[in-house]
Amino acid sequence: MFEELINLISSQNRKRFRQEYFIRLVTVTAWLLTFVVIAECFLLIPSYIFESQEVSAHTIELQQLSQKAATSQEQQVQAKVQALSAESTYLQGVRTLPTASMALRAILAVPRTGIKLSGFTFGSAQNTSSTTIKSMEISGIADTREDLRSYDTALSALPYVSNADLPISDYAKATTIPFTITLTGSLTP
């Protein structure tokens, strides 16, 4: 066989044949690509619909969670406001409550000749549930019974003391008498 083949087609015809071949190849390739793109678009429609539904569902869920979070935050804020309101009411009432220093100053202002005071105990009265009734125990030593009686009478006469309780057993000694007087009342001078 011959190694060289003879081409009987002229070079012009060959050029034209190649051009037509490439034009057909490009046209078929373009139509094929167009068909593939259109097919892909049609096949993506269900995915697009699914994703758009997912986005709308998540958007609704986000709005619901935001509303729940807002209401829970509002509830927390309301609880804090109520707590602060209660505390401010309490703090405003504190300045009218008797303090130990005010009561002690008032008791020390009572004349006490022959009396040496040694101890003070301030607190709420034990037999009542009211927070306005306070009690104070005053302990000390009196020189005589008369000094102790006059001091007890002076304490009983104070307008903010409703009761001055001095046990009768404290009068047992005639001189150098240890005593404990329990005062109850508002103790607010």
* pLDDT tier for residue 124 given thresholds of 50, 70 and 90: confident
Cβ contact 159:109 at 8 Å = no
Neighbouring C-beta atoms of residue 168, cutoff 10 Å: 6
Q: What is the pTM of this model?
A: 0.49
In this predicted model, what pLDDT tens digit does every residue of 81-122 receive, in sequence order? Answer: 888 888 888 888 777 666 777 778 888 888 888 899 998 888
- For 28-61, b where at least 16 C-beta lie within 10 A, e where not — what string? eeeeeeeeeeeeeeeeeeeeeeeeeeeeeeeeee
In this predicted model, what pLDDT tens digit does every residue of 44-73 receive, in sequence order? Answer: 999 999 999 999 999 999 888 888 877 877
Residue 177 structure tokens: 């008498």
Tell which wins on pLDDT, 64 or 23.
23
Q: Which is nearest to 99 in space by CA: 134, 151, 139, 47?
A: 134
CA distances in angstroms from 18 to 15, 25, 29, 105, 113, listed in the order given: 5, 10, 16, 122, 138
3-class secondary structure, 185: strand
Those residues whose C-beta lies under 8 Å from the C-beta of residue 133, and which sit 6 or more positions away, are 124, 125, 162, 184, 185, 186
In this predicted model, what pLDDT tens digit does every residue of 139-170 receive, in sequence order? Answer: 999 998 888 888 888 888 888 888 888 888 87
Residue 89 structure tokens: 């009411």
CA distance 155 to 47: 93
* pLDDT tier for residue 186 given thresholds of 50, 70 and 90: confident
- For 142-159, b where at least 16 C-beta lie within 10 A, e where not — what string? beeeebbebbbebbeebe
